[in-house]
Amino acid sequence: MRYKPYRYPLYLMLRLFQAVVLCLPRNFSLSLARRVGRAAFALARRERNKTLEHLTRAYGGEKSPGEIKKLGERVFIHFAETAVEVLRLPKLDREALNRLVEVGDGFETYRRLLAEGNGVILLTGHLGNWELMGALFCFNGFPGTVVGRRLYYEKFNQMILRLRKKAMLKTLYQDASPREYLEVLRRNEILGLLADQDLDWADGIFVPFFGRPAYTMTAPVKLALASGAPLVPTFLVREGDRYRLLVEEPIRVEIKTTREEALREYTERWSRVMEEKIRAYPDQWAWMHRRWKTQKPEEVSALGAVS
């Protein structure tokens, strides 16, 4: 990967920012984060433009340009707050984290499913605070492994790994062998998948997402078929200054007719749940990601014919 000299100073700034928020009370840290989020929305033109473009694509018929711009700014504020909460992980223990989260009966659902002995596939996305959710489960006695992307700069990557280690959360990278994923489930543990991004190198199909075809990975359904583990869409969303754990109805994957039809049926099903939750908390999803980047072959052909 090409050397980019700005990355190391950026890393040092992040470490300095972490030192500051670790010294401040949580409410002051979040207040600082909100200011950083507003500044980032004003200054980070490329990411702002992508965010507004995708929000317009999803909500153009429902919201005015002014409403979309305000929503876009709230997205940046949310991710600044999320970053602060993650950077503050070294200050948290089980009791402190549980005070931040309204869990409801979510843990009971996972205990019941783990009692079946096949592990559980926790299916989530870049919505709310997924890193804090991993810590929440591990601090409360649920061993787990998250499948994540190796960050482009190794110092950032190691920083995230240290934070996850503090939370007793193990990491597998996206290019790991499926056998390693299945081994987690064979140990009757939780395997966390963030499955809401357009990864054109991964096996996938096009399913509806905000009214448009979106290339969506089929790995969650394939792992469920191979292991017998249920898919459980699960999210940790911000409500005011606290969080709420949302554990949706488990999805039991089975082949009713053909494997291909099962892949489509259940991929569409969990993707619908993901969209429902994003619509409920639109300011907490990563709209800067190019979710519709990969196009269906017929759409690419049509574009070529027009040009």
pLDDT at 233: 98
pLDDT at 166: 84
Distances (CA, A) of 15 to 10, 29, 40, 78: 9, 15, 18, 20
pLDDT at 69: 98
Is residue 1 assigned to a domain?
no
Distances (CA, A) of 82 to 26, 33, 87, 199: 12, 9, 9, 23
pLDDT at 3: 59
Exposed/middle/buried for residue 141 (C-beta within 10 Å: 0-12, 13-18, 19+): exposed
Is residue 2 assigned to a domain?
no
pLDDT at 60: 85
Is residue 187 assigned to a domain?
yes
Residue whose token pair is 């709230």: 74
Is residue 307 assigned to a domain?
no
Is residue 131 assigned to a domain?
yes
pLDDT at 190: 98
- Cα 136 to its chain centre, rounded Å, is 15
Classified as helix, coil or strand, 181 is helix
Answer whether 251's CB lies under 8 Å from 232's CB. Answer: yes
What domain range is 74 assigned to? 7-302
Q: What is the domain count for the chain?
A: 1
pLDDT at 30: 96
pLDDT at 188: 98
Spell out, as residue ranges, where the chain has pLDDT lower than 50.
1, 299-307
What pTM, to 2 d.p., does this model score?
A: 0.92
pLDDT at 104: 94
